[in-house]
Chains A and B, each alone.
Chain A
Amino acid sequence: MKKHFLSASLVLSTLTSFGAGYQVNLEGLRQMAMGGSGTAWPWDASTIFYNPGGLSRLKSIQVYGSLADIMPATAYGNTQGSTTTKSQTFTPFNVYVGGTIKEGSRLGLGLGIYTPFGTGLTWNNDWPGRYLVQSISLSCVFVQPTISYRISDLISVGGGFIYASGNFALNQALPVQDMNGNDGTAHLKGTGNGVGFNLGVQMKVNEHLQFGVTYRSQVNMDLNGGRATFDVPASLSTTFPNTQFVSSLPLPQVFSVGIGFKPLANEMLTMQFDLNYTGWNSYDSLRFDFATQTSSLKNMHVPRHYRNTLTPRLGGNYKISKVVSVMAGASYDPTPVTTGFVSPELPDADRINVSCGASVKPFKRLTIMAAMEFTTTAKHAATYNYGNFNGTYTTQAITPGIGLYYNL
């Protein structure tokens, strides 16, 4: 005789993942202030990220550092009530060192450390979607040694190898209550890494017109040896054993084209326009495979079905004087999340970003920059069929950032 009672599965019904649009577009302060555009114009050493081909356009080696402070909040509501995520701040940073190895050289070398992906949010513990997600965080750091070569005055090319490292944590309530009615909790935590590359071609037609084309490959972030721990009633401790898990998250490929030009006769204004095509459709499902499985703890394969997105970005830089410049820009970042798959760990929607900033050059070699980005989504009614969890969401984020670079 088989044990009848409780031998059936208390499946971790909908262990979900990080979210949509977990891309972060804050890899350079001046570019951030210009709507995230920067493929065509090699402004500074952050071109290691925006277009490795532009690195050999820098006049010398430059040291660059910047920090942004994302303060996002998402509100959820249904016909019964509403809630807002707890306040959190995230601080993606960028460090670049690079440029031409000596003045007049055709060869540029550099190293970039930047944070192109990440997400996080924390809901109240008793919110209606707690069995899907209570909190989530994902952060990734890319390290990219880069080489760039100026083939001619017109064309320079560049490429970099990417080593990515990241960490991930997810907390979720489990529908097994103790004698006081408290939910169980699942905690999943892991670190991972992956490799990829970043290629770029930069075209300088003249001082007034430049073009850029880049391709950054997909990086598969493999989480091996992640730890799954469960807070459950004692009688279920063998049903939900603490165990290891493996998972993999695609950090998608991005193909970008950009144009930069100076429309005014006084050459003080630089306008630039980028298109990013992001290959989100590689994020087809989220998988957690547990080392120890039980009748209740089964491998999770959750459909995601993201779609590719095309993001236009527009920005301008106005040089008021030799010392001061101001920037402004905007972008429209469509969501990769498809209808019926809007899950509450990142209830993404089409985003509108507007940004502005300023730079000051107090000394000849030093430039200090500050920027501000405001992100908003329209209130959108969303459905998540997998967990039958529906509602209306809206997300806003304010992101101030500061940075500086120094020409050696």
Chain B
Amino acid sequence: MKKIYIIGALACSISACKPSVNITKAPTAGNAVFTNYLAVGNSLTAGFADNSLYVTGQLNSYPQRLFEQFSKIAVHGASGDFYQPLLHSDMGFGPQDTSAPPPGLNFRPRKVIGEVTNCLGVTSLAPVNLPGYAPDAQDAMQYQSPGPNGQINNIAVPGIRVADYPVLGYGAGNLYAARFYHNPSTSTPLDELQYSVANLHPTFFTMWLGANDVLGYALAGGQGNGAGTATPAIYNYYSSNDITPASVFQANFDTAVQVAVSTGAKGALINIPDVTSIPFFTAIPANGLYITRQTLADSLTAFYASKNYVFKLGPNYFIIQDNAGVTRQAVPGELILLTTPMDSLSCAGWGSIKPILKQYVLTTDEIQNIKNMTSRFNDIISQAALRNNLALVDMNSYMSKIQSGIVYNGITYSTQFITGTAFSLDGIHMTPRGYAVIANQIILAINKQYGSTINQIDPNQYNGLMFP
């Protein structure tokens, strides 16, 4: 009897009780060649996060994730290392953020979650500037790639627009470009792209450009030309508050793609998300005027008697200033910017007895401008992908899915500010998890276009937001 028992235990310890599942498949390149990968884009491609650029963010950029997957491919996979213009520190680097309390010129601390006590004495968790922030002098130094020929694989520049591609001396006005551009003060971004292509001979590229061509207008609360009829502010430079005219976008974008494919590279074009769906514009609801006392509701109703606005207990639509400077109540669908001073909302009567100023509000017609132009730009991107047989990543559709929440391995990703996991503390850029989710979408489109079998990434192995 005992014998059987012991034999049983023995059999178990040898093999039977340790089942295994191995369904990993070696990824293949299909028709594409990933040997030399070049990433072109703006802040989303640079790994910008938490309102700044810092080295950990860069190391979690989606091009970095893509490179890691490309390099797992045995034949025609990525070779060597992936060189990004890495900063030295995690302090945060970039131009001063005029919407945040400015510690000094060219001070751009990254945001972390901290406790904030507002004017009413209520303490809550909110993004705050990194405590103990001190700019790292090495961050501001020119980046020298240690790679072969000084190669840089990720030439994304935070802030760059398609409209900026022919602007001479662009690097002189953009700290991020100035750090690694070959001739920052005498070149155009297109020249720099040409230089990178000649230097790296990319066999594969990704290009995610265009979000800033609408985002500048949105971030300015629509205080610019949103109709697509803007004219250059100076020479061929458009004001950052304007939406780029479609003809300019098309000419610049098509030229950039032509340069990128000039060495025969294959690649993926990523289209522009609907920027109005991101937390920066949705975190503060338009009906966020929350009234808890009837006397307050009554006095507000009396205050606006001439306009027939009625205020009730609970959520009410804010009082805003529209584009023409007229004070009125917000209507459903209108958006309040995350940069709206919270203490002004809480204690200074903004949104109730005073309007929220127009630079903090996107009104219905401004939102319509953004959507119209985004759609026109995305048509241009689709056509470019089709014409050049490139993969098209429909990030616009995917982001609208994230807006309603997607679940991955037990985590819900959404555009909820802070709790949605995907977006970092600036409400515009992603967390490392969010960038991995984006990389997965790009991989799906590449696999579809080129018949490759690149594996998906588990985003949950990277950090989301971190809490004190």
Give the interface of A toward B (CB within 8 A). 1-11, 13-14, 69, 71-82, 84, 87, 126, 128-132, 175-181, 232-236, 296, 357-358, 360, 368-370, 372, 374, 376, 379, 386-389, 391-398, 400, 402
Contact = CB atoms under 8 A, between A and B. Distances in A.
Contacts of A80: 24, 455-458
Contact of A372 (B4, B21, B113, B456): B4
B290 A175 contact: no
Nearest to A397: B17
Given A178-B467, A387-B410, A398-B11, A131 B460 contact: yes
A368 B468 CA distance: 60
Given A8-B416, A77-B24, A82-B22, A175 B8 contact: no
Contacts of A360: 1
A402 B5 contact: yes
Given A6-B419, A387-B407, A396-B16, A76 B21 contact: yes
Nearest to A5: B126
Contacts of A3: 122, 124
Contacts of A78: 23
Contacts of A1: 120, 288-290, 342, 345-346
Interface string B270-285: 0000000000000110
B466 A178 contact: yes
Nearest to B15: A396
A263 to B, nearest CB: 26
Given A5-B124, A387-B407, A10 B419 contact: yes
Interface residues of B, number: 59
Interface in B1-17: 1-2, 4-5, 8-9, 11-12, 16-17
A179 B466 CA distance: 5
Interface in B124-140: 124-127
Nearest to A389: B409
B446 to A, nearest CB: 15
Contact of B21 (A6, A388, A392): A392
B418 interface: yes
A74 B21 CA distance: 9
6 contacts: A1-B345, A13-B410, A73-B17, A73-B18, A80-B455, A132-B409
B466 A235 contact: no
Nearest to B283: A4
A400 B126 contact: no
Given A128-B458, A129-B410, A131-B410, A74 B19 contact: yes
B21 A398 contact: no
Interface in B118-158: 120, 122, 124-127
B466 A177 contact: yes
Given A176-B465, A358-B1, A402-B1, 20 more contacts: A2-B290, A4-B284, A4-B288, A4-B342, A5-B116, A5-B127, A6-B419, A11-B412, A14-B410, A71-B9, A79-B24, A131-B411, A177-B467, A233-B467, A360-B1, A370-B1, A370-B4, A398-B9, A398-B12, A402-B5
Contacts, number: 183
A402 B6 CA distance: 12
A388 B408 contact: yes
A369 B126 CA distance: 66
Contacts of A79: 23-25, 455-456
Interface in B441-468: 455-458, 460-461, 463-468
A235 B114 CA distance: 8
Contact of A368 (B1, B19, B22, B409): B1
Contacts of A369: 1
Interface string B51-69: 0000000000000000000
Given A177-B466, A178-B466, A394 B17 contact: no
**Top 6 A-B pairs, shortest CB-CB distance:** A77-B21, A131-B410, A233-B467, A400-B8, A5-B126, A370-B1
B1 A175 contact: no
A233 B468 contact: yes
A28 B118 CA distance: 67
B421 interface: yes
Contact of B467 (A81, A236, A392): A236
Given A4-B283, A398-B8, A128 B409 contact: yes
Contacts of B25: 79
A233 B4 CA distance: 50
Contacts of A178: 466-468
Nearest to A177: B466
Contacts of A372: 4, 8
B407 A13 contact: yes
B266 to A, nearest CB: 23
Q: Which of A73, A175, A388 has the most CB of B within 10 A?
A: A175
Interface string B14-38: 0011111111110000000000000
A87 B290 contact: no
B4 A6 contact: no
B115 interface: yes
B16 A374 contact: yes
A177 B464 contact: yes
Contacts of B217: none
B467 to A, nearest CB: 4
A235 B115 contact: yes
Contact of B17 (A8, A386, A398): A398
A234 B467 CA distance: 8
B126 to A, nearest CB: 4
Contacts of A69: 9
Nearest to B12: A398
Contact of A358 (B4, B11, B412): B4
Contacts of B458: 80, 128
Contacts of B116: 5
Nearest to B124: A3
Contacts of B311: none
A72 B22 contact: no
Contacts of A76: 21
Contacts of B113: 235
